[in-house]
Amino acid sequence: MNTQALAVHDNGPEGVYLRGSGAAREWWRVSLSERAHMFRIEHGHGAAGSGAVDIDTVVDLDNLEAKLLKWRREGFVSVAGREDEARAVAAGSRFAMELERAVELQREARAAEQTAPTEAVRIGGVAMPPAPESTPSALVPRINDAYLFTARADDIALDIVENRRVMLIGHTGSGKTSFIEQVAARTGHGVLRANMNGQTTIGDFVGFWTVKGGETVWVDGVLPVAMREGYWLIIDELDFAEPSILAVLTAVLEPNGRLLLKERGNEIVEPHPSFRLFATANAAGAMSAYRHLYQGANLLNEAFLDRWRVYLFDYLSKEEEAEVLRRTLPALTPSIAQTLAAIAADCRAAFAREDLASTFSTRRLIDWAELMLRTGDVERAAGPAIYAKVSAEDAALIRSIIRHHAIFDAGDGASG
C-alpha cells in the first residue's frame, strides 16, 4: 500500500506519521472522519496499513493538534515530510503559521509605504519620525542613557508611529512616564505633562478667558497647545481626572480627533500631525485590583478604555533591573546590583502575597542604591529611601528581607 496516497489534502494533517524501521516500525494514520470537523486516528506496528490496528478513534482538531505535537516530540515523522507542516506542528497550530504569514505581509506593506526619512530615529526595531523643527528644545526631555527599552518598546513605538492613543498602566515607579519621555528625548519631540492627581482643572486643561491689560484674552490649556504645536501630551494618573476632562478627551481620542473649544465660540482645534496623546494610570483596567492602594482613583469605563491601546507595565525583571542599576550608577559592582535587584523582587513578591502593604518601585531602588554609594551604609541609606515611607511593620519585614540577602551582619548597622 502506498502510504503517500493517504495524504488526502495538500494542507491538511491527514497522512501517515512513522517512527523507527523494520520490526520496530510504528505508525499513526490520520484521515478525515465521516463526522464533520473530526479526524480518525489509527495506530499500529509494522508497515502502515498491513499490521493490526491497535488504536482506532475519532478526535476533533484541537485534540488532533495536541496529538501531532506529542507524536513529533516522540520522534514520529510525517511521510509527506513537508517543511511547512513540520513548522505548523512545531508552532502548535496551523493558526500560528498563518498569522506569521499575515504579519510578514503587513510588514512588507508597511516597508513599501514607508520611505523612511533620513533623520528617522530608531527605537528598538522601529523607525520613528522626527519632531517638527520648530520644537523648543526646553520642551524636549533630556536623554537618560541608563534607560532600558525592554521587549514591549517596539509595540508601543509602532503605536506612536501609527498615531494610536497609548495608555500605560502599572504601579508607581514602574517606568511609565519615563518610557514616553525617553522616546521623546531620542526623537526630539516636545513633551507637556498634565497630572490629574492634583489641582488640574478643566480650565488648565482646555483653556480659559482672563483679563490682561484691560483686555479679555483667551489662554490655551495644555491640550490645545499640544494639539496646535505638535507636542506630545502625557496625561499622568488619568484615573484621577475629573469627569469634565474625560468628556473633553473622548472627542480628541478619535483618530485625528479635533477639539471643540465651546468657551471660545466653538473654535475647532485641528491636531498637528506630530501631536500624540498618552496617559498613565495606576489602578485602571487590569490594575483595578489595586485600587485600594491608590485612594480616590476612578474606574475608567470600558468604552473609554477601548479608545486606547493599554499596556500593563510590570516592574523590570531581576536581570533588567540589575542592568538598569549598573547603567544608572556605574560604580555599583555586578554582584551588588544583582543583590539589590533580588531584594526588590523579594519585596514585590511579599507585596503580591499581601505580606507587605507597599510595593517597591524601580525609582525607590535606584534612590536607595544612590544613597548607599554616598553613605557606604546599607541601613542608613534605607532610612530615607525606604523605611520612612512605609509602616513600621513593612519596614521590619523589608529589613529582614535585606538581611536575608546577607548584605550586612545581623549586629551591624541595625540601630534603626
Ligand X SMILES: Nc1ncnc2c1ncn2[C@@H]1O[C@H](COP(=O)(O)OP(=O)(O)O)[C@@H](O)[C@H]1O
Instruction: Check if the beta carbon of residue 367 is closer than 8 Å to that of residue 381.
Output: no
Total number of residues shown for the chain: 416
Min CB(145)–ligand X separation in Å:
10
359 near ligand X, judged by CB under 6 A = no
User: Which cell numbers hold the place of 402?
Assistant: 535585606
Give the residues across from 16 on adjacent strands. Answer: 29
| Residue 278 binding partner per list ligand X, Mg ion, none, with a CB distance cut-off of 5 to 8 Å that depends on partner kind | none
- In terms of CB distance, is 44 or 173 closer to ligand X? 173
Beta carbon nearer to ligand X, 33 or 172: 172
Among Mg ion, ligand X, none, what binds residue 147 when CB lies within 5 to 8 Å by partner kind? ligand X
Instruction: Look at the block and give the residue holding cell 540589575.
Output: 322
324: contact with ligand X by CB under 6 A: yes
Pairing outcome for strands 267-269 and 77-78: unpaired
Give min distance, CB of 300 to ligand X, in A: 17
Among the listed residues 78, 177, 282, 362, the single contact to Mg ion using CB under 5 A: 177
Amino acid occupying residue 400? S
Q: DSSP of 302-321, one letter per residue?
A: HHHHTTSEEEE-PPPPHHHH
Task: Decide if residue 293 touches ligand X (CB under 6 A).
Answer: no
- What angle, 0 to 180 degrees and rounded to 10, lies between the N-to-C axes of helices 243-252 and 222-229? 20
Using the minimum distance from each CB to Mg ion, give the nearer residue, 177 or 182.
177
Set of cell numbers at residue 199: 489641582
Q: Measure the CA–CA gap between 77 and 263, rounded to whole angstroms.
A: 72
Least CB distance to ligand X at residue 221 (A):
22
Dist CA 188 CA 181 (whole Å) = 10
| The three cell numbers locating residue 265 | 465660540
Least distance CB 305 / ligand X (angstroms) = 18
- Residue 290 Cβ vs Mg ion, minimum distance, rounded to whole Å: 15
How many angstroms separate the CA atoms of 380 and 368, rounded? 10
Nearer CB in complex with Mg ion: 177/358: 177
What is the C-alpha to C-alpha distance for residues 308 and 310, in angstroms, rounded to an integer? Answer: 6
Which one of Mg ion, ligand X, none is in contact with 200 (Cβ closer than 5 to 8 A by kind)? none
Q: Is 141 a residue that touches ligand X (CB under 6 A)?
A: no
Does the footprint of ligand X cover residue 147 (CB under 6 A)? Answer: yes
CA distance 204 to 199: 9
Nearer CB in complex with ligand X: 41/324: 324
Residue nearer to Mg ion on the CB measure, 48 or 196: 196
Nearest to 387 by CA among 349, 416, 410, 351: 416
Question: Per-residue x/- marks for ligand X, 301-320, CB under 6 A?
Answer: ---------------x----
Which of 80, 85, 140, 174 binds ligand X (CB under 6 A)? It is 174
- Sole residue written with cell 523589608: 398
Asked if residue 325 binds ligand X (CB under 6 A), the reply is no
Residues that bind ligand X (CB under 6 A): 146-148, 170, 172-178, 280, 316, 324, 362-363, 366
Binding site for Mg ion (CB under 5 A): 177
